[in-house]
Amino acid sequence: MRNVWLIAKRELGVYLRTPAGYLITAGLLLLDGLAFNVFGVGSSPKLSSAVLQDYLYFAFGLTSVAAILISMRLIAEERQTGTLTLLFTSPVKEHEIILAKFGSALVFVTVMNLLTIYIPLLIFVNGKVSIGHIAAGYLGLTLQAATVLAIGVFGSAISWNQLMAGVVTALIVALLVLLWMVARVTEPPLNKIISYLALFQGHFQSFQRGILRVSDLIFYASIIFFALLASTRVLQSQRWR
Amino acid sequence: MIVVDRVTKYYGSACAVRDLSFSIEEGQCIGFLGLNGAGKSTTLRLLSCLLLPTSGRVTIRGLDVEESPDEIRKFIGYLPDTPPLYGEMTVEQFLSFAGRLRGMSADDVNHRMDEVLAVCALKEVRKKAVSALSHGYKQRVGIAQAIIHRPALLILDEPLQGLDPVQIVEMREMIRGLRGKHTILLSTHMLAEIEQTCDRILMLSRGRIAAEGSEEDLANRFGHAGATLELDVRGEADAVRLALEGVGGVKVTDVTATGQMLRVRVSTEGEVREEIAKRIVDAGLGLRGFRTSSAGLENIFVRLSKETESAPSAANAPAASEEAPS
Contacting B residues, span 16-75, partner chain A, CB-CB under 8 Å: 48-52, 70-71, 73-74
Q: Are strands B55-60 and B63-64 parallel, antiparallel or unpaired?
A: antiparallel
Which of B51, B89, B102 minimises the CB distance to A90?
B102
Domain chopping of chain B, boundaries: 2-220, 223-292
Q: What is the mean pLDDT of residues A178-191?
A: 84
- Residues in chain B within 8 Å Cβ distance of A87: 101
Express the helix, strand and coil content of chain B in percent, nearest 5 each. 40, 30, 30
Q: Are strands B29-34 and B200-205 parallel, antiparallel or unpaired?
A: parallel
Give the per-residue pLDDT at B160: 83
Percent over 90 (pLDDT), chain B: 33
Residues 6+ apart with CB under 8 A from B143: B79, B120, B156, B159, B171, B174, B175
Residue A184: pLDDT band with limits 50, 70, 90 = confident
Examine the pLDDT at A38 and tell me if it is beyond 90.
no
pLDDT in tens, B8-17: 999 888 889 9
Give the per-residue pLDDT at A123: 87
Q: Across chain A, what does the average pLDDT equal?
A: 91
pLDDT in tens, B58-89: 999 999 998 999 899 999 999 998 899 999 99
Residue A153: pLDDT band with limits 50, 70, 90 = very high
Is the CB of residue A237 less than 8 Å away from at least one CB of chain B?
no
Give the per-residue pLDDT at B326: 39
Name the amino acid, one letter, at A83.
T
DSSP letter for B325, please. P
Residue B96: pLDDT band with limits 50, 70, 90 = very high
Evaluate whether B145 touches B95 at the Cβ level (below 8 Å): yes
Give the per-residue pLDDT at B317: 40
Which of A17, A81, A88 minimises the CB distance to B50?
A88
Q: DSSP E strands: which ranges in chain B?
A: 2-11, 14-24, 29-34, 55-60, 63-64, 76-79, 153-157, 183-188, 200-205, 208-213, 227-234, 251-258, 261-268, 286-292
* Residue contact A82–B98, C-beta within 8 A: no
Examine the pLDDT at B321 and tell me if it is beyond 60.
no
Evaluate whether B159 touches B89 at the Cβ level (below 8 Å): no
In 3D, which of A234, A238, A233 has the Cα closest to residue A84? Answer: A238
ipTM of the complex: 0.85
Q: Facing residues of B204 across strands?
A: B34, B209
CB pairs under 8 A between A and B: 60
Residue B311: pLDDT band with limits 50, 70, 90 = low
Which of B50, B52, B97 minimises the CB distance to A10?
B97
pLDDT in tens, A207-235: 989 888 999 999 999 999 999 999 999 99
CB atoms within 10 A of CB B13: 11
- What is d(CA B111, CA B99) in angstroms, rounded to the nearest whole number? 11
Is the CB of residue A83 less than 8 Å away from at least one CB of chain B?
yes
pLDDT in tens, B235-287: 888 888 888 887 887 888 888 887 778 888 888 877 788 888 888 898 888 99
Q: Across chain B, what does the average pLDDT equal?
A: 84
Is the CB of residue A13 less than 8 Å away from at least one CB of chain B?
yes
Which of A6, A85, A240 minimises the CB distance to B100?
A6
Q: What is the mean pLDDT of residues B41-55?
A: 92
Examine the pLDDT at B144 and tell me if it is beyond 90.
yes
Q: Which CATH architecture does the domain made up of B2-220 adopt?
A: 3-Layer(aba) Sandwich (3.40)
CB atoms within 10 A of CB A39: 13
CATH number of B223-292: 3.30.70.100
